[in-house]
Structure 1
Amino acid sequence: MKTSHSTSKRLVRYAATFSAFILLSIAAKLHAAEFDHSYTGFDQLLKQVVQVSKDHKQTRVDYQKLAMQKETLNTLLTVYSNVTKSQYDTWSKTQELSFLINAYNGFTLKLIVDNWQEFTEDDAESIRDLGSLFTTPWEKKFFTLFGEKHNLDDIEHSMVRKWFKEPRIHAALVCAAVSCPPLRNEAFVADQLTLQLDNQMQLFLADNSRNEILLDGQNGQASLSSIFKWYRGDFEKGDEGFNSLFDLLSAYSEALVEGDNNPQEQRALIQRADYPIIFKDYDWRLNDVANF
Protein backbone atom coordinates (compact mmCIF):
# COMPACT_ATOMS: atom_id res chain seq x y z
CA MET A 1 0.00 0.00 0.00
CA LYS A 2 2.86 2.40 0.81
CA THR A 3 4.42 1.80 -2.56
CA SER A 4 1.10 2.43 -4.28
CA HIS A 5 0.54 5.59 -2.26
CA SER A 6 4.08 6.82 -3.06
CA THR A 7 3.56 6.14 -6.73
CA SER A 8 0.29 8.07 -6.71
CA LYS A 9 1.99 11.06 -5.08
CA ARG A 10 4.73 11.01 -7.73
CA LEU A 11 2.15 10.85 -10.49
CA VAL A 12 0.32 13.80 -8.99
CA ARG A 13 3.58 15.79 -8.84
CA TYR A 14 4.46 14.86 -12.42
CA ALA A 15 0.98 15.83 -13.59
CA ALA A 16 1.20 19.15 -11.76
CA THR A 17 4.64 19.86 -13.22
CA PHE A 18 3.49 18.94 -16.72
CA SER A 19 0.36 21.09 -16.35
CA ALA A 20 2.46 24.02 -15.16
CA PHE A 21 4.77 23.58 -18.16
CA ILE A 22 1.80 23.57 -20.54
CA LEU A 23 0.33 26.67 -18.92
CA LEU A 24 3.65 28.50 -19.14
CA SER A 25 3.99 27.53 -22.79
CA ILE A 26 0.49 28.78 -23.56
CA ALA A 27 1.11 31.99 -21.62
CA ALA A 28 4.34 32.58 -23.55
CA LYS A 29 2.56 32.09 -26.86
CA LEU A 30 -0.25 34.42 -25.83
CA HIS A 31 2.29 36.98 -24.67
CA ALA A 32 4.12 36.70 -27.98
CA ALA A 33 0.88 37.09 -29.89
CA GLU A 34 0.24 40.39 -28.12
CA PHE A 35 3.16 42.13 -29.83
CA ASP A 36 2.15 44.19 -32.86
CA HIS A 37 4.43 42.92 -35.62
CA SER A 38 2.86 45.41 -38.02
CA TYR A 39 4.42 48.24 -35.96
CA THR A 40 1.38 50.40 -36.67
CA GLY A 41 2.25 53.17 -34.23
CA PHE A 42 5.91 53.41 -35.20
CA ASP A 43 4.97 53.30 -38.88
CA GLN A 44 2.55 56.20 -38.46
CA LEU A 45 5.13 58.25 -36.56
CA LEU A 46 7.79 57.70 -39.22
CA LYS A 47 5.38 58.79 -41.94
CA GLN A 48 4.80 62.03 -40.04
CA VAL A 49 8.42 63.00 -39.38
CA VAL A 50 10.50 61.48 -42.22
CA GLN A 51 10.66 63.58 -45.39
CA VAL A 52 11.64 62.01 -48.71
CA SER A 53 13.68 63.87 -51.34
CA LYS A 54 12.24 64.55 -54.79
CA ASP A 55 14.38 61.82 -56.35
CA HIS A 56 13.29 59.43 -53.55
CA LYS A 57 16.93 58.50 -52.81
CA GLN A 58 17.38 60.46 -49.59
CA THR A 59 15.37 61.22 -46.49
CA ARG A 60 15.66 63.62 -43.58
CA VAL A 61 13.94 63.72 -40.19
CA ASP A 62 11.91 66.65 -38.91
CA TYR A 63 13.34 66.41 -35.41
CA GLN A 64 11.51 69.52 -34.25
CA LYS A 65 8.21 67.86 -35.06
CA LEU A 66 9.42 64.60 -33.51
CA ALA A 67 10.47 66.42 -30.33
CA MET A 68 6.88 67.60 -29.97
CA GLN A 69 5.82 63.93 -30.06
CA LYS A 70 8.47 62.73 -27.66
CA GLU A 71 5.98 60.99 -25.38
CA THR A 72 4.50 59.10 -28.32
CA LEU A 73 7.96 57.88 -29.30
CA ASN A 74 8.77 56.90 -25.71
CA THR A 75 5.50 54.98 -25.39
CA LEU A 76 6.26 53.03 -28.56
CA LEU A 77 9.79 52.26 -27.43
CA THR A 78 8.56 51.14 -24.00
CA VAL A 79 6.68 48.37 -25.81
CA TYR A 80 9.99 47.27 -27.38
CA SER A 81 11.70 47.40 -23.97
CA ASN A 82 9.00 45.18 -22.47
CA VAL A 83 9.73 42.34 -24.89
CA THR A 84 11.48 39.52 -23.04
CA LYS A 85 14.20 37.38 -24.60
CA SER A 86 12.03 34.28 -24.17
CA GLN A 87 9.19 36.03 -26.02
CA TYR A 88 11.57 37.19 -28.77
CA ASP A 89 12.86 33.64 -29.19
CA THR A 90 9.37 32.41 -30.13
CA TRP A 91 9.29 34.64 -33.21
CA SER A 92 10.32 33.85 -36.76
CA LYS A 93 13.74 35.02 -37.97
CA THR A 94 12.18 37.79 -40.08
CA GLN A 95 10.13 38.96 -37.10
CA GLU A 96 13.26 38.99 -34.94
CA LEU A 97 15.33 40.96 -37.45
CA SER A 98 12.53 43.45 -38.16
CA PHE A 99 12.22 44.06 -34.44
CA LEU A 100 15.94 44.75 -33.97
CA ILE A 101 16.15 47.10 -36.97
CA ASN A 102 13.12 49.07 -35.77
CA ALA A 103 14.52 49.11 -32.23
CA TYR A 104 17.91 50.42 -33.42
CA ASN A 105 16.35 53.15 -35.54
CA GLY A 106 13.78 54.01 -32.88
CA PHE A 107 16.27 54.31 -30.04
CA THR A 108 18.56 56.38 -32.28
CA LEU A 109 15.68 58.80 -32.78
CA LYS A 110 15.18 58.85 -29.01
CA LEU A 111 18.85 59.68 -28.44
CA ILE A 112 18.54 62.72 -30.71
CA VAL A 113 15.20 63.87 -29.29
CA ASP A 114 16.38 63.46 -25.69
CA ASN A 115 19.24 65.82 -26.52
CA TRP A 116 17.38 68.05 -28.96
CA GLN A 117 18.04 71.18 -26.93
CA GLU A 118 21.78 70.75 -27.56
CA PHE A 119 21.12 70.90 -31.29
CA THR A 120 18.76 73.87 -31.09
CA GLU A 121 21.30 75.79 -28.99
CA ASP A 122 24.15 74.93 -31.39
CA ASP A 123 25.97 72.87 -28.77
CA ALA A 124 25.78 69.86 -31.09
CA GLU A 125 25.49 69.36 -34.84
CA SER A 126 26.21 65.64 -35.01
CA ILE A 127 25.24 62.51 -33.12
CA ARG A 128 28.95 62.18 -32.36
CA ASP A 129 28.69 65.30 -30.21
CA LEU A 130 26.44 63.38 -27.81
CA GLY A 131 29.28 61.20 -26.61
CA SER A 132 31.74 61.96 -23.82
CA LEU A 133 35.50 61.94 -23.45
CA PHE A 134 35.53 58.19 -22.82
CA THR A 135 32.24 57.00 -24.35
CA THR A 136 30.84 57.30 -27.86
CA PRO A 137 27.08 57.88 -28.22
CA TRP A 138 26.78 54.31 -29.51
CA GLU A 139 28.27 53.02 -26.26
CA LYS A 140 25.88 54.89 -23.95
CA LYS A 141 23.51 52.50 -22.19
CA PHE A 142 20.36 54.60 -22.27
CA PHE A 143 17.58 52.08 -22.93
CA THR A 144 16.37 48.68 -21.80
CA LEU A 145 16.07 45.65 -24.07
CA PHE A 146 15.43 42.04 -23.05
CA GLY A 147 15.43 43.09 -19.40
CA GLU A 148 18.91 44.66 -19.44
CA LYS A 149 20.43 48.06 -20.07
CA HIS A 150 21.83 48.30 -23.58
CA ASN A 151 23.39 50.68 -26.08
CA LEU A 152 23.10 51.02 -29.84
CA ASP A 153 26.34 49.12 -30.42
CA ASP A 154 24.83 46.15 -28.59
CA ILE A 155 21.94 45.98 -31.04
CA GLU A 156 24.11 46.36 -34.14
CA HIS A 157 27.18 44.32 -33.27
CA SER A 158 26.15 41.89 -30.52
CA MET A 159 22.70 41.10 -31.88
CA VAL A 160 22.05 41.93 -35.55
CA ARG A 161 25.51 41.22 -36.98
CA LYS A 162 26.03 38.23 -34.65
CA TRP A 163 22.65 36.54 -34.92
CA PHE A 164 21.90 37.10 -38.63
CA LYS A 165 23.76 36.50 -41.89
CA GLU A 166 22.31 39.53 -43.64
CA PRO A 167 24.79 42.15 -44.88
CA ARG A 168 22.02 44.34 -46.30
CA ILE A 169 21.25 45.52 -42.78
CA HIS A 170 23.96 48.12 -43.35
CA ALA A 171 21.52 49.92 -45.63
CA ALA A 172 18.77 49.73 -43.01
CA LEU A 173 20.38 50.70 -39.68
CA VAL A 174 20.49 54.50 -39.61
CA CYS A 175 22.72 56.37 -37.14
CA ALA A 176 21.24 59.86 -37.71
CA ALA A 177 23.95 61.24 -40.01
CA VAL A 178 23.61 62.83 -43.46
CA SER A 179 25.84 60.17 -45.05
CA CYS A 180 23.83 57.31 -43.53
CA PRO A 181 21.43 55.34 -45.68
CA PRO A 182 17.99 56.96 -45.87
CA LEU A 183 15.81 56.36 -42.84
CA ARG A 184 12.79 54.59 -44.23
CA ASN A 185 9.46 56.42 -43.75
CA GLU A 186 7.84 53.15 -42.76
CA ALA A 187 8.57 50.42 -40.24
CA PHE A 188 10.29 47.19 -41.23
CA VAL A 189 7.87 44.26 -41.09
CA ALA A 190 8.49 40.53 -41.34
CA ASP A 191 6.38 39.74 -44.40
CA GLN A 192 8.05 42.54 -46.40
CA LEU A 193 11.52 42.44 -44.90
CA THR A 194 13.39 40.93 -47.85
CA LEU A 195 11.85 43.44 -50.26
CA GLN A 196 12.50 46.32 -47.86
CA LEU A 197 16.16 45.42 -47.37
CA ASP A 198 16.61 45.02 -51.12
CA ASN A 199 14.97 48.39 -51.74
CA GLN A 200 17.11 50.05 -49.07
CA MET A 201 20.29 48.82 -50.73
CA GLN A 202 19.03 49.98 -54.13
CA LEU A 203 18.24 53.47 -52.80
CA PHE A 204 21.57 53.72 -51.03
CA LEU A 205 23.63 52.66 -54.05
CA ALA A 206 21.59 54.76 -56.48
CA ASP A 207 22.43 57.99 -54.63
CA ASN A 208 25.57 59.40 -56.27
CA SER A 209 26.34 61.55 -53.25
CA ARG A 210 26.96 58.31 -51.35
CA ASN A 211 27.95 55.75 -53.99
CA GLU A 212 28.93 56.13 -57.65
CA ILE A 213 30.87 54.68 -60.56
CA LEU A 214 33.43 57.11 -61.98
CA LEU A 215 34.72 56.63 -65.54
CA ASP A 216 38.09 57.61 -66.97
CA GLY A 217 38.08 56.53 -70.60
CA GLN A 218 37.96 52.74 -70.64
CA ASN A 219 38.92 52.64 -66.99
CA GLY A 220 37.25 53.84 -63.86
CA GLN A 221 36.63 53.24 -60.19
CA ALA A 222 33.88 52.89 -57.62
CA SER A 223 33.58 55.67 -55.07
CA LEU A 224 31.59 54.21 -52.19
CA SER A 225 30.26 55.15 -48.79
CA SER A 226 32.70 54.58 -45.93
CA ILE A 227 30.12 52.13 -44.58
CA PHE A 228 31.47 49.65 -47.10
CA LYS A 229 35.00 50.25 -45.80
CA TRP A 230 34.02 49.78 -42.15
CA TYR A 231 31.92 46.67 -42.81
CA ARG A 232 33.63 45.30 -45.90
CA GLY A 233 34.12 41.95 -44.20
CA ASP A 234 30.36 41.47 -43.88
CA PHE A 235 30.16 41.44 -47.68
CA GLU A 236 32.93 38.87 -48.09
CA LYS A 237 31.43 35.90 -46.22
CA GLY A 238 29.17 34.57 -48.95
CA ASP A 239 26.01 35.72 -47.15
CA GLU A 240 23.23 36.62 -49.61
CA GLY A 241 25.65 35.54 -52.34
CA PHE A 242 28.19 38.31 -51.69
CA ASN A 243 31.82 37.18 -51.57
CA SER A 244 33.21 40.65 -52.27
CA LEU A 245 32.14 44.23 -52.78
CA PHE A 246 32.41 43.50 -56.52
CA ASP A 247 29.61 40.93 -56.09
CA LEU A 248 27.45 43.48 -54.28
CA LEU A 249 27.96 46.15 -56.93
CA SER A 250 27.31 43.67 -59.73
CA ALA A 251 24.04 42.57 -58.10
CA TYR A 252 22.93 46.21 -57.81
CA SER A 253 24.50 47.52 -61.02
CA GLU A 254 21.21 48.95 -62.31
CA ALA A 255 20.82 51.03 -59.16
CA LEU A 256 24.42 52.25 -59.39
CA VAL A 257 24.02 53.55 -62.96
CA GLU A 258 20.49 54.89 -62.52
CA GLY A 259 20.22 58.38 -64.01
CA ASP A 260 23.90 58.53 -64.98
CA ASN A 261 25.17 59.71 -68.38
CA ASN A 262 27.17 56.63 -69.38
CA PRO A 263 25.28 53.63 -68.00
CA GLN A 264 26.49 51.18 -70.66
CA GLU A 265 30.17 51.94 -70.01
CA GLN A 266 29.55 51.86 -66.27
CA ARG A 267 27.88 48.44 -66.48
CA ALA A 268 30.83 47.11 -68.47
CA LEU A 269 33.24 48.35 -65.80
CA ILE A 270 31.17 46.83 -63.00
CA GLN A 271 31.08 43.44 -64.71
CA ARG A 272 34.90 43.41 -65.05
CA ALA A 273 35.18 43.28 -61.26
CA ASP A 274 38.80 44.41 -61.27
CA TYR A 275 38.53 48.15 -60.76
CA PRO A 276 39.78 50.23 -57.82
CA ILE A 277 37.39 50.98 -54.97
CA ILE A 278 37.81 54.19 -52.99
CA PHE A 279 35.71 55.49 -50.13
CA LYS A 280 34.06 58.85 -49.61
CA ASP A 281 34.43 61.05 -46.56
CA TYR A 282 31.51 60.65 -44.18
CA ASP A 283 29.20 63.59 -43.51
CA TRP A 284 28.35 63.27 -39.83
CA ARG A 285 25.97 66.24 -39.72
CA LEU A 286 22.56 65.42 -38.30
CA ASN A 287 20.09 63.97 -40.82
CA ASP A 288 17.70 66.79 -39.99
CA VAL A 289 15.43 68.48 -42.56
CA ALA A 290 17.59 71.61 -42.17
CA ASN A 291 20.43 69.64 -43.79
CA PHE A 292 18.53 68.50 -46.89
Structure 2
Amino acid sequence: MLCPPETLKSFTPRWPVRVLHTLYRIDRREALNCAAHRAEVQGTGQEIAAQLKQATNGLKAAGIDVETGTVDYPALANSEAYRAYTAATAALCDYDPASLTSDDERLAFWLNLYNALVIHAVIAVGVRERVTEARGFFERAAYIVNGYRLSADDIEHGILRANAGHPFLPGRQFGPHDPRRAMRLPQRDPRLHFALNCGATSCPPISFYSAENLDAQLDLAARNFLNGGGARLERKNGVLWLSRIFSWYATDFGAALYGYRGQHRLLAYVRPYLNDEADQAYLDDHATTLRVRFLPYDWSLNR
Protein backbone atom coordinates (compact mmCIF):
# COMPACT_ATOMS: atom_id res chain seq x y z
CA MET A 1 0.00 0.00 0.00
CA LEU A 2 1.32 3.44 -0.94
CA CYS A 3 1.04 6.11 1.73
CA PRO A 4 -0.42 9.53 0.93
CA PRO A 5 2.26 12.25 0.81
CA GLU A 6 0.87 14.09 3.82
CA THR A 7 1.57 10.99 5.96
CA LEU A 8 5.32 11.05 5.30
CA LYS A 9 8.22 13.11 6.57
CA SER A 10 11.21 13.69 4.35
CA PHE A 11 14.50 11.82 4.75
CA THR A 12 17.13 10.34 2.45
CA PRO A 13 18.24 6.72 3.00
CA ARG A 14 21.91 5.89 2.55
CA TRP A 15 22.98 4.89 -0.95
CA PRO A 16 23.20 1.09 -0.32
CA VAL A 17 19.56 1.08 0.78
CA ARG A 18 18.54 3.19 -2.21
CA VAL A 19 20.27 0.66 -4.47
CA LEU A 20 18.31 -2.17 -2.83
CA HIS A 21 15.05 -0.29 -3.27
CA THR A 22 15.80 0.17 -6.96
CA LEU A 23 16.87 -3.45 -7.39
CA TYR A 24 13.79 -4.85 -5.65
CA ARG A 25 11.42 -2.15 -6.98
CA ILE A 26 10.43 -0.95 -3.54
CA ASP A 27 8.61 2.38 -3.45
CA ARG A 28 9.62 4.47 -0.43
CA ARG A 29 5.93 5.34 0.07
CA GLU A 30 5.14 1.64 0.53
CA ALA A 31 4.12 0.58 4.05
CA LEU A 32 1.70 -1.85 5.66
CA ASN A 33 -0.04 0.60 7.99
CA CYS A 34 -1.10 3.34 5.57
CA ALA A 35 -4.86 2.87 5.35
CA ALA A 36 -6.31 5.47 2.99
CA HIS A 37 -9.08 6.49 5.38
CA ARG A 38 -7.67 5.86 8.81
CA ALA A 39 -9.39 7.31 11.85
CA GLU A 40 -7.77 10.09 13.84
CA VAL A 41 -5.49 8.68 16.51
CA GLN A 42 -6.76 9.13 20.02
CA GLY A 43 -4.78 9.04 23.25
CA THR A 44 -1.30 9.81 24.50
CA GLY A 45 1.85 8.13 23.28
CA GLN A 46 1.78 5.76 26.26
CA GLU A 47 -1.87 4.88 25.57
CA ILE A 48 -1.14 4.19 21.90
CA ALA A 49 1.76 1.93 22.86
CA ALA A 50 -0.52 0.09 25.31
CA GLN A 51 -3.23 -0.34 22.65
CA LEU A 52 -0.70 -1.71 20.19
CA LYS A 53 0.66 -4.12 22.81
CA GLN A 54 -2.88 -5.34 23.51
CA ALA A 55 -3.45 -5.93 19.79
CA THR A 56 -0.11 -7.77 19.56
CA ASN A 57 -1.11 -10.00 22.46
CA GLY A 58 -4.26 -10.79 20.47
CA LEU A 59 -2.08 -12.10 17.65
CA LYS A 60 -0.27 -14.32 20.12
CA ALA A 61 -3.52 -15.81 21.41
CA ALA A 62 -5.01 -16.33 17.95
CA GLY A 63 -2.24 -18.00 16.02
CA ILE A 64 1.06 -18.45 17.88
CA ASP A 65 2.02 -21.65 19.68
CA VAL A 66 3.60 -20.39 22.90
CA GLU A 67 5.44 -23.70 23.43
CA THR A 68 7.17 -23.89 20.04
CA GLY A 69 6.98 -20.26 18.87
CA THR A 70 5.55 -21.38 15.52
CA VAL A 71 2.82 -19.43 13.73
CA ASP A 72 -0.41 -20.68 12.14
CA TYR A 73 -0.43 -18.07 9.38
CA PRO A 74 -3.67 -19.20 7.63
CA ALA A 75 -5.63 -19.19 10.91
CA LEU A 76 -4.15 -15.84 11.88
CA ALA A 77 -4.92 -14.25 8.49
CA ASN A 78 -8.62 -15.04 8.94
CA SER A 79 -8.85 -14.03 12.58
CA GLU A 80 -10.46 -11.04 14.21
CA ALA A 81 -7.20 -10.57 16.14
CA TYR A 82 -5.29 -9.99 12.89
CA ARG A 83 -7.87 -7.46 11.69
CA ALA A 84 -7.70 -5.68 15.05
CA TYR A 85 -3.91 -5.62 14.93
CA THR A 86 -3.68 -4.25 11.39
CA ALA A 87 -6.18 -1.53 12.33
CA ALA A 88 -4.15 -0.66 15.43
CA THR A 89 -0.96 -0.18 13.40
CA ALA A 90 -2.49 2.92 11.78
CA ALA A 91 -1.80 4.74 15.05
CA LEU A 92 1.93 4.29 14.46
CA CYS A 93 1.83 6.87 11.67
CA ASP A 94 1.59 9.66 14.26
CA TYR A 95 3.17 7.86 17.19
CA ASP A 96 6.36 9.40 18.56
CA PRO A 97 8.58 6.71 20.18
CA ALA A 98 10.20 9.47 22.23
CA SER A 99 7.21 9.04 24.57
CA LEU A 100 8.88 5.84 25.79
CA THR A 101 10.83 6.91 28.85
CA SER A 102 13.29 4.07 29.58
CA ASP A 103 15.72 1.98 27.55
CA ASP A 104 13.86 -1.18 28.58
CA GLU A 105 10.58 0.28 27.33
CA ARG A 106 12.19 1.19 24.04
CA LEU A 107 13.87 -2.18 23.60
CA ALA A 108 10.69 -4.11 24.39
CA PHE A 109 8.62 -1.89 22.10
CA TRP A 110 10.91 -2.32 19.09
CA LEU A 111 11.39 -6.06 19.64
CA ASN A 112 7.63 -6.57 19.73
CA LEU A 113 7.05 -4.30 16.75
CA TYR A 114 9.64 -6.14 14.66
CA ASN A 115 8.17 -9.54 15.45
CA ALA A 116 4.62 -8.40 14.73
CA LEU A 117 5.70 -6.60 11.53
CA VAL A 118 7.23 -9.80 10.16
CA ILE A 119 4.00 -11.73 10.82
CA HIS A 120 1.99 -8.91 9.21
CA ALA A 121 4.28 -8.87 6.17
CA VAL A 122 4.29 -12.65 5.69
CA ILE A 123 0.49 -12.57 5.47
CA ALA A 124 0.18 -9.32 3.49
CA VAL A 125 2.88 -10.20 0.94
CA GLY A 126 1.53 -13.73 0.57
CA VAL A 127 4.67 -15.68 1.49
CA ARG A 128 4.01 -19.38 0.94
CA GLU A 129 7.16 -21.34 1.77
CA ARG A 130 9.98 -19.02 2.87
CA VAL A 131 10.50 -15.29 3.36
CA THR A 132 13.38 -15.30 0.87
CA GLU A 133 10.90 -15.96 -1.94
CA ALA A 134 9.75 -12.34 -1.56
CA ARG A 135 12.59 -10.25 -2.97
CA GLY A 136 13.81 -7.65 -0.52
CA PHE A 137 11.38 -8.90 2.14
CA PHE A 138 13.07 -7.16 5.07
CA GLU A 139 13.18 -3.82 3.23
CA ARG A 140 9.67 -4.24 1.83
CA ALA A 141 8.15 -5.07 5.23
CA ALA A 142 7.71 -1.60 6.71
CA TYR A 143 5.57 0.66 8.88
CA ILE A 144 5.29 4.43 9.03
CA VAL A 145 6.24 5.50 12.56
CA ASN A 146 5.91 9.19 13.45
CA GLY A 147 5.91 9.99 9.73
CA TYR A 148 9.07 8.03 8.89
CA ARG A 149 9.19 4.80 6.93
CA LEU A 150 10.88 2.07 8.96
CA SER A 151 11.54 -1.30 7.36
CA ALA A 152 12.29 -4.48 9.29
CA ASP A 153 15.96 -3.88 8.41
CA ASP A 154 15.74 -0.32 9.74
CA ILE A 155 14.29 -1.52 13.04
CA GLU A 156 16.84 -4.30 13.47
CA HIS A 157 20.05 -2.67 12.26
CA GLY A 158 19.28 1.02 12.71
CA ILE A 159 17.36 1.03 15.99
CA LEU A 160 17.84 -2.21 17.94
CA ARG A 161 21.51 -2.66 17.02
CA ALA A 162 22.26 1.00 17.78
CA ASN A 163 22.76 1.84 14.10
CA ALA A 164 25.47 -0.79 13.65
CA GLY A 165 24.44 -1.38 10.06
CA HIS A 166 23.49 -4.40 7.98
CA PRO A 167 26.17 -7.13 8.14
CA PHE A 168 26.28 -7.40 4.34
CA LEU A 169 26.07 -3.71 3.41
CA PRO A 170 28.75 -1.05 3.86
CA GLY A 171 28.36 1.56 6.58
CA ARG A 172 25.64 2.19 9.11
CA GLN A 173 21.92 1.77 8.50
CA PHE A 174 21.12 5.46 9.07
CA GLY A 175 23.34 8.19 7.65
CA PRO A 176 24.61 11.13 9.74
CA HIS A 177 21.78 13.42 8.63
CA ASP A 178 18.98 10.86 8.79
CA PRO A 179 16.41 12.06 11.39
CA ARG A 180 15.59 8.43 12.22
CA ARG A 181 18.95 8.21 14.00
CA ALA A 182 17.20 9.76 17.00
CA MET A 183 15.23 6.52 17.44
CA ARG A 184 18.29 4.28 17.80
CA LEU A 185 19.02 2.58 21.10
CA PRO A 186 22.13 3.79 22.94
CA GLN A 187 23.88 0.41 22.90
CA ARG A 188 23.60 -3.11 21.48
CA ASP A 189 22.41 -5.96 23.66
CA PRO A 190 23.47 -9.18 21.86
CA ARG A 191 20.54 -11.02 23.44
CA LEU A 192 18.21 -9.23 21.04
CA HIS A 193 19.28 -11.78 18.41
CA PHE A 194 17.54 -14.49 20.44
CA ALA A 195 14.37 -12.40 20.67
CA LEU A 196 13.90 -11.42 17.01
CA ASN A 197 11.95 -13.79 14.79
CA CYS A 198 12.43 -13.29 11.05
CA GLY A 199 9.71 -15.74 10.02
CA ALA A 200 12.13 -18.62 9.40
CA THR A 201 12.45 -22.03 11.06
CA SER A 202 16.06 -21.36 12.14
CA CYS A 203 15.10 -18.08 13.81
CA PRO A 204 14.51 -18.01 17.57
CA PRO A 205 10.92 -18.88 18.56
CA ILE A 206 8.60 -15.91 18.42
CA SER A 207 7.66 -14.26 21.69
CA PHE A 208 6.68 -10.83 22.96
CA TYR A 209 8.40 -8.83 25.67
CA SER A 210 7.59 -6.47 28.54
CA ALA A 211 9.78 -3.72 29.95
CA GLU A 212 9.07 -4.87 33.51
CA ASN A 213 10.68 -8.29 33.06
CA LEU A 214 12.87 -7.66 30.04
CA ASP A 215 16.25 -8.70 31.42
CA ALA A 216 14.96 -12.05 32.66
CA GLN A 217 13.01 -12.60 29.43
CA LEU A 218 16.08 -11.96 27.28
CA ASP A 219 18.21 -14.28 29.40
CA LEU A 220 15.55 -16.97 29.04
CA ALA A 221 15.34 -16.39 25.27
CA ALA A 222 19.11 -16.81 24.95
CA ARG A 223 19.13 -19.95 27.08
CA ASN A 224 16.19 -21.52 25.24
CA PHE A 225 17.64 -20.76 21.82
CA LEU A 226 21.11 -22.09 22.54
CA ASN A 227 19.89 -25.23 24.31
CA GLY A 228 17.19 -25.78 21.71
CA GLY A 229 19.54 -26.28 18.78
CA GLY A 230 21.34 -22.96 18.46
CA ALA A 231 24.49 -24.53 19.92
CA ARG A 232 25.58 -28.14 19.39
CA LEU A 233 28.75 -29.54 20.92
CA GLU A 234 30.45 -32.28 18.89
CA ARG A 235 33.10 -33.61 21.26
CA LYS A 236 34.32 -36.36 18.94
CA ASN A 237 35.50 -33.82 16.37
CA GLY A 238 36.24 -30.97 18.78
CA VAL A 239 33.67 -28.67 17.18
CA LEU A 240 31.05 -26.35 18.63
CA TRP A 241 28.35 -25.76 16.04
CA LEU A 242 26.57 -22.43 16.44
CA SER A 243 23.63 -20.82 14.72
CA ARG A 244 24.68 -18.79 11.72
CA ILE A 245 23.42 -15.76 13.65
CA PHE A 246 26.77 -15.86 15.46
CA SER A 247 28.55 -15.54 12.12
CA TRP A 248 26.41 -12.78 10.60
CA TYR A 249 26.51 -10.72 13.80
CA ALA A 250 29.92 -11.79 15.08
CA THR A 251 30.87 -8.23 16.04
CA ASP A 252 27.85 -8.01 18.37
CA PHE A 253 29.31 -10.95 20.29
CA GLY A 254 32.87 -9.59 20.37
CA ALA A 255 34.28 -11.60 17.45
CA ALA A 256 35.18 -10.50 13.90
CA LEU A 257 35.36 -11.63 10.27
CA TYR A 258 31.95 -13.32 10.43
CA GLY A 259 33.00 -15.37 13.44
CA TYR A 260 36.25 -16.75 12.06
CA ARG A 261 38.40 -14.41 14.14
CA GLY A 262 38.05 -14.10 17.90
CA GLN A 263 36.20 -17.39 18.26
CA HIS A 264 37.21 -17.57 21.92
CA ARG A 265 34.83 -14.66 22.49
CA LEU A 266 31.97 -16.64 20.98
CA LEU A 267 32.80 -19.54 23.31
CA ALA A 268 32.90 -17.19 26.29
CA TYR A 269 29.54 -15.72 25.35
CA VAL A 270 27.78 -19.04 24.82
CA ARG A 271 29.17 -20.93 27.82
CA PRO A 272 27.04 -19.39 30.66
CA TYR A 273 23.82 -20.15 28.80
CA LEU A 274 24.45 -23.88 28.37
CA ASN A 275 22.29 -25.97 30.69
CA ASP A 276 24.62 -28.99 30.71
CA GLU A 277 27.40 -28.45 33.26
CA ALA A 278 29.48 -31.11 31.51
CA ASP A 279 29.31 -29.08 28.31
CA GLN A 280 30.38 -25.97 30.21
CA ALA A 281 33.33 -27.85 31.67
CA TYR A 282 34.29 -29.17 28.24
CA LEU A 283 34.34 -25.63 26.84
CA ASP A 284 36.53 -24.54 29.76
CA ASP A 285 38.98 -27.41 29.25
CA HIS A 286 39.20 -27.06 25.46
CA ALA A 287 38.84 -23.31 25.04
CA THR A 288 42.09 -23.00 23.08
CA THR A 289 41.54 -25.97 20.76
CA LEU A 290 37.78 -26.14 20.20
CA ARG A 291 36.75 -25.04 16.73
CA VAL A 292 33.59 -23.05 16.05
CA ARG A 293 31.58 -23.79 12.94
CA PHE A 294 28.22 -22.46 11.82
CA LEU A 295 25.03 -24.37 11.12
CA PRO A 296 23.09 -24.07 7.85
CA TYR A 297 20.12 -21.70 8.11
CA ASP A 298 16.64 -23.02 7.36
CA TRP A 299 14.63 -20.17 5.80
CA SER A 300 11.37 -22.15 5.51
CA LEU A 301 8.42 -20.54 7.29
CA ASN A 302 8.19 -21.05 11.05
CA ARG A 303 4.86 -22.85 10.96
**TM-score normalised according to structure 1 size:** 0.71
Equivalent residue number for residue 278 of structure 1: 293
Which whole-Å CA distance do the structure 2 matches of 1:205 and 1:109 have between them? Answer: 23
Matches within 5 A, 1:166-177: 166-177=189-200
Gaps of 5+ in 2: 1-42, 163-184, 256-263
- Count of paired positions: 226
Equivalent residue number for residue 27 of structure 1: none
Which whole-Å CA distance do the structure 2 matches of 1:42 and 1:144 have between them? Answer: 17
Task: Report whether the alignment pairs 1:111 with 2:121.
Answer: yes
Matches within 5 A, 1:70-109: 70-88=82-100, 91-109=101-119
Task: State the one-letter code of the partner of 1:72.
Answer: A
Equivalent residue number for residue 61 of structure 2: 47
Q: 1:77–1:107: 8 Å Cα contact kept in structure 2?
A: no
Computing the radius of gyration from Cα coordinates, the structure with the larger value is 1
**Per-residue Cα deviation, 1:134-162 (whole angstroms, up to 9, x for no partner):** xx211226321231112110000011101
Equivalent residue number for residue 34 of structure 1: 47
Alpha-carbon deviation of 1:114? 0.3
Gaps of 5+ in 1: 1-29, 120-124, 238-242, 258-262
Equivalent residue number for residue 155 of structure 1: 155
Which whole-Å CA distance do the structure 2 matches of 1:32 and 1:142 have between them? Answer: 20
**Could you tell me the percent identity over the aligned residues?**
27
Task: Report whether the alignment pairs 1:189 with 2:210.
Answer: yes
Task: State the one-letter code of the partner of 2:246.
Answer: F
Higher helix share: 1
Matches within 5 A, 1:129-278: 129-131=133-135, 136-140=136-140, 142-162=142-162, 163=185, 164-184=187-207, 187-208=208-229, 210-216=230-236, 220-236=238-254, 244-254=265-275, 257=276, 264=278, 266-271=279-284, 272-274=286-288, 275-278=290-293
Q: 1:203 to 1:156 in 2, by over 3 A?
A: same
Q: 2:199–2:302: 8 Å Cα contact kept in structure 1?
A: yes
Alpha-carbon deviation of 1:108? 0.5
Task: State the one-letter code of the partner of 2:78.
Answer: M
Instruction: Look up the SS of the partner of 2:235 in the other structure.
Output: strand
Q: 1:50–1:62: 8 Å Cα contact kept in structure 2?
A: yes
Say what the alpha-carbon RMSD is for the aligned residues: 2.3
Instruction: Look up the SS of the partner of 2:302 in the other structure.
Output: coil
Instruction: Return structure 1 stretches of 4+ with deviation > 6 angstroms.
Output: none
**TM-score normalised according to structure 2 size:** 0.69
